[in-house]
Structure 1
Amino acid sequence: MASDFWNIFLNVVAAFIYAGIVWLWQKRGNRPPPVALRSQPSRAESEEPLDRRAQNHQAVESAAHKFLFYFVTFGVLYLSVTMPPLFKALFSKGEVLLSQARFIGESLPPIPVGKDYLQITFFLIAAVLYWPLLALSEAITSMLHPLIDSFRPVTHRIWSAVTMLVFFLFCIPVAATSIWLFYEKSFQDALLTVLLALFLAFAFGQAQGGRR
């Protein structure tokens, strides 16, 4: 059980490292803002010139916001892939083998899910899925831009928040597929399990917020 908790901790650390890699890569490439936002005046153009300290503070805040975006989105995707089999291994009396996965298990080796080197495979799967899901989320956000802009100006923060929300929606079927592979559930039941878990987490968060 201690090794299972250690693997869960490694998942979080791996998501943090990957977010740093993505952030550095995007910063190196000097990625331009989305086309839908280019026509809007920037804060520097619409306000009076800021002093050096304010500019540095704004740059650090923007960099931290981008890093948090990559960390949260990849972390949710990575945990959507890994947590269902890890939770089964955590509460199972026996070992949970990779070969026990439904449909694809026959072509996989009988490796325990909790093995450290197996987490690299899960990491690579999440890393491969991340880029197309992120691109698709940004494309959907671009289509939603006129609708959102009719209610409030679409700033970079609003753009990131909507993209993150769309990305999270794609993580739901990913988590349901992971559950379906390792549990005796239909895909519909696995999807309902994910939705129920999200509802309980949201309700718990609201309850905790109401106590403060």
Structure 2
Amino acid sequence: MNRKMLFKLVNDLVMTVLMLIAMAYYITGNMIHEVVGIVVLLLFIVHNFLNRRWYKAIFKGKFNVRRILQIGLNLLFLVAMVLMMICGILISSDIFPFIPLNNDMTLRQLHVQSAYWGFIIMAVHIGLSWGMIINSVRRMTGITGTSPIRTIALRILAVLIVAYGVHSFFEGEMGSKLFIYNPFGWFDNDSIIGFLIDHLAIMGIYITGTHYALKFIQKQDQRVVLKN
């Protein structure tokens, strides 16, 4: 794996973890929330700079189902992140207290709702690239061959993660929080580690679902090509 790809993976991994920490507002408090949010903003800018070629090629090439989904979700993720960050800066009380606002309730709601939706879209976004991520990790670790035992073990692990993710999803009433304003009060868990485990498991639902849905679509496309 080249250094640029490794840097991309590390940048995205750190950004993902910090986004989850920023969402644990009721655990970290406002100051840490804002500091982490600024770091996420910087990492997000770096992420987009490193992937700037994608924007240049957005209207080039063939548009199959996977590419259309990828473009749509990437743009939705961009909108959610930009909206969340702009609203976050405007309602800041510690880092940017000099911005005067009389009634910021609407901005607070937009900030929280875009964070929830951004969380889900981010997981699907990762799922779209999961095959590439796995191949990069294999090259980095020197794993070249296939192993039935390893494959079965990883699939069992994926099932367990999804099962726990579904439990956490309903336990935290995630579905309602995508549409109803709730200032980061997801779970009764007062531990950052527990919070991360719960939310990474929820992400696992969408990463796994997206990854295998793409595999199914690709198999269907291959069958169509073979028939023709």
Provide TM-score, normalisation by structure 2.
0.27
Pair member with larger Rg: 1
Provide TM-score, normalisation by structure 1.
0.28
